[in-house]
Amino acid sequence: MSTIVRAADAAQFLSVLPHLLGCTPRDSVVVVPLSQGRTLGVMRVDLPSETAAAGAAASIIGMACRIVDVEAVMLVVYTDAEISTEPSPVLPHRAVIDALRTRADECGLPVAEAFVVAANGWGSALSDRLPPGGHALERIAPREDLPPEAVDGPPAVDQAAGAQLPLPGAARRRAVAQALRSLDAALETICGIPRMSGSAPVRIDPAALQAACALDDLPALFERALSWNPDDLAPMDAASIGWCLARAGLRDVALVQWATDVDGGDAAMEAQRRWEDGELYPSDLAEVMWGDGPRPDATRLDAALRLARNVAALMPKKRRAGALAVCGWIAWARGRSTHADAYVRQALHADPRHGLAEIVGSFVAAGHLPDWAFRAR
């Protein structure tokens, strides 16, 4: 059941908007699609320069038009520029607002309102009444009276906040590196899989043998992993998940399962085996990876992201690209392209030719969003 938060005026609307976004944007254009007076979601893109305003407006309004049931939009520009005061108040970035309104009019999409939130105040671009310096920013500060079921804590300071990996202590990282070496050795002994780490230990850790055997049922492992405390992962658990996410076939099984359910993981595992034998990969499973399938469960993806972030932070730097690319894909799937870009850059720093990182990076660079981002929840 949806929680309805009502906004009585423009100030209340702008005070709620950061909660819808999860952050207070900087240098951004925010589009709020409307249907029957209610929001259908919210979309943020980087604020274009005035010379690029026309082209950017075409892309932004084009994405808004793809949203099912959209009847109108509200536009909000967030900028570090100030509202001029001499000789009369003038909102910055009017060229961007004008380009967006022009493109929306050409597409038959009404613009219900257009605001500019500047460094020293805010105002409506559709109103002639603007006090010197704009309206006070205090009036649109994020609200503290919203019901807890409507918000997920206070909004982040900007759209980039939250993409930094956790910082585990050196002792935890060394423990995971040792567990990974033991797992490598166990898998070489049991399965003949070549080690990626150094020389084999004299004695193989029994915990590594147990972890290696758990890889026989990957969907069960991936499902259990969602229930682990990601901030307190056992070294062998972190090593096992990191080992899997470093291998494309196993990583794809994890992503399909975390985006669907354990049955989806079983199907993806069987599809991977058949694909390796020369059969075609099922289109319904491939659609999940390309963002064209049913909307994934947000709770499962958020749990998977927390897990992958902590695994990436604990893995040796040369072997964390897989976990980072998974972070990038999940962030992209959740509509957080700014975070996805940050994870992809870190993944490519660890492995400049990492396939999934390159794919997600191309999505972000092209402004491509998953299809479910344009469908009602």
- CA dihedral for 305, 310, 311, 312, sign (positive or negative): positive
- Tens of pLDDT, residue by residue over 42-64, are 999 999 999 999 999 999 999 99
Q: What is the arithmetic mean of pLDDT over 138-150?
A: 76
Q: What is the DSSP string of 52-85?
A: GHHHHHHHHHHHHHTSTT--EEEEEEE-SS--B-
CATH 4.10.780 is right for the domain spanning 10-159:
no
Confidence of residue 2 (pLDDT cuts 50, 70, 90): low
- 3-state secondary structure (DSSP) of residue 31: strand
Q: What is the arithmetic mean of pLDDT over 223-237?
A: 97
The CATH 3.40.140 domain(s) of the chain lie at 10-159
pTM of the model: 0.90
Alpha-carbon gap, residue 56 to 190, rounded angstroms: 55
pLDDT at 341: 97
pLDDT at 1: 43
| Burial zone of 278 (CB within 10 Å; 0-12 exposed, 13-18 middle, 19+ buried) | exposed
Confidence of residue 206 (pLDDT cuts 50, 70, 90): confident
What is the percentage of the chain residues whose pLDDT exceeds 90? 78
pLDDT at 246: 97
Alpha-carbon gap, residue 215 to 221, rounded angstroms: 7
More confident residue, 22 or 193: 22
Residues 252, 268: contact at Cβ < 8 Å?
yes
- Tens of pLDDT, residue by residue over 165-198, are 999 999 999 999 999 999 998 898 887 777 666 6
pLDDT value at 149 more than 80: no
pLDDT at 132: 82
pLDDT value at 4 more than 60: no
